[in-house]
């Protein structure tokens, strides 16, 4: 995909960028700069172009971190018990 190609974005992301762009143009920003800022904002808020379903959601990421934290705590408790002996 060549730079600047917007085919990977969803319709919602395109509408969002257009709305943001119009807002910048209202404030007096030139058209090219307004478009650049609008797409930068869309990328920041949505993570870029359309995504497949392979990424973990925020709740899945949190659950994975929580599981790892629990395992780590169990390991630390075992080590503390061994040192106390």
According to the model, what pLDDT value does residue 61 have? 73
Contact 37, 79 (CB under 8 A): no
Q: CA 72 to CA 26: how far, in whole Å?
A: 53
Q: What is the pTM of this model?
A: 0.56
Residue 53: is its pLDDT beyond 60? Answer: no
pLDDT: is 57 or 32 the higher one?
Answer: 32
In the chain, the largest separation of any two C-alpha atoms, in whole Å, equals 72
Yes or no: say if 26 and 59 are a contact pair by the CB < 8 Å rule.
Answer: no
More confident residue, 34 or 1: 34
pLDDT of residue 28: 96
């Amino acid at each position: 995909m060549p730079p600047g190609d917007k085919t990977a974005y969803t319709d919602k992301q395109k509408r969002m960028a257009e709305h943001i762009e119009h807002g910048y143009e209202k404030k007096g920003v030139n058209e090219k700069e307004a478009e650049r800022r609008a797409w930068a904002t869309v990328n920041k808020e949505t993570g870029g172009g359309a995504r497949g379903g392979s990424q973990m959601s925020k709740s899945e990421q949190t659950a994975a971190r929580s599981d790892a934290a629990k395992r780590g705590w169990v390991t630390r408790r075992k080590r503390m018990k061994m040192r106390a002996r």
